[in-house]
Amino acid sequence: MTSKEPQNTEEEGEGVKRAPVMWLLALVVIMMGFLIYELFLLQLPKIEKRELPEKAKYCLEELKAYSTIKTLEMGGHIRPTGEFIEEMRECYRRNGWEIKR
């Protein structure tokens, strides 16, 4: 018993060997989850983007210019959504267009 080796090397060795296996197992589980998610995602029907009517595009462009000026006047504060909707309605009224719901 002259050698000075630690007596519990086998127990430490198992713990060291087990850690990479657990990380590998976790990685495999995450990859399988992502693969299943992608497969289900591909099976779902694609939602087509609706095109905006030309009138709405025109009003949006008009409001972007107006909004930039207004935002600069207000010191960079963004206006509430309700105000934007009212401005869109006003644009439609100014141009004599009907608002469809």
Does 42 share its domain with 61? Answer: no
Q: Decide if pLDDT at 40 tops 90.
A: no
Q: Is 31 exposed, middle or buried (0-12, 13-18, 19+ CB in 10 A)?
A: exposed
Contact assessment for residue 84 and residue 63, using Cβ atoms and an 8 Å cutoff = yes
36 domain-assigned: yes
Span 78-86, average pLDDT: 65
Tell me how far the alpha carbon of residue 69 is from its chain's centroid.
Answer: 29
2 domain-assigned: no
Higher pLDDT, 61 or 32: 32
Does 41 share its domain with 65? Answer: no
d(CA 75, CA 82): 19
pLDDT at res. 17: 64
Q: Tell me the residue range of the domain where 35 lies.
A: 9-47
Does 61 share its domain with 41? Answer: no
Mean pLDDT of the chain: 68
d(CA 78, CA 39): 40
pLDDT at res. 30: 92
Number of domains in the chain: 2
Span 60-72, average pLDDT: 65
Q: Is 6 exposed, middle or buried (0-12, 13-18, 19+ CB in 10 A)?
A: exposed
100 domain-assigned: no
84 domain-assigned: yes
Does 68 share its domain with 39? Answer: no
Does 40 share its domain with 67? Answer: no
Q: Decide if pLDDT at 70 tops 50.
A: yes
DSSP structure class, residue 75: T
Most confident of 1-10, 16-25, 27-36, 69-78: 27-36
